[in-house]
Amino acid sequence: MSDFPAPGKLNLFLHVLGRRADGYHELQTVFRLVERADRLQIIPRRAGQLTFSGPFGDDNLCLRAARLLKQASGSKLGADIALEKRLPVGGGMGG
């Protein structure tokens, strides 16, 4: 099993510089990491299935990234992925 912290951050300064051609915004920011962190656990599995447990559904960024990595690598392996939220959802702390 692998256990990864996803530390939160506080934006101390955020300035929107403009819009990029891809639709995203060009940003200038200063942020500080905080001690509190979400926790991501990954258990590799020989079976090809990816499972996800946590407070979110199938559109969660962690699961989407795992699916894209599996597809791009052609791997037949799977994983159980667990997300423990310790940061407030939508609180602007970005875990």
- For the stretch 49-80, pLDDT in tens is 988 888 777 777 888 898 899 999 999 999 99
Model pLDDT, residue 95: 53
Higher pLDDT, 93 or 50: 50
pLDDT, mean over the chain: 88
- CA 18 → CA 14, 26, 94, distances in Å? 12, 5, 22
Domain 2-84 is of which CATH architecture?
2-Layer Sandwich (3.30)
Judged by average pLDDT, the poorest of 14-18, 39-43, 57-61, 82-86 is 57-61
The reported pLDDT for the residue numbered 80 is 93
What are the residue ranges spanned by the domains of the chain?
A: 2-84
Q: Which pLDDT belongs to residue 94?
A: 65
- pLDDT for the residue numbered 10: 87
Q: Is the dihedral of CA 31, 35, 39, 44 positive or negative?
A: positive
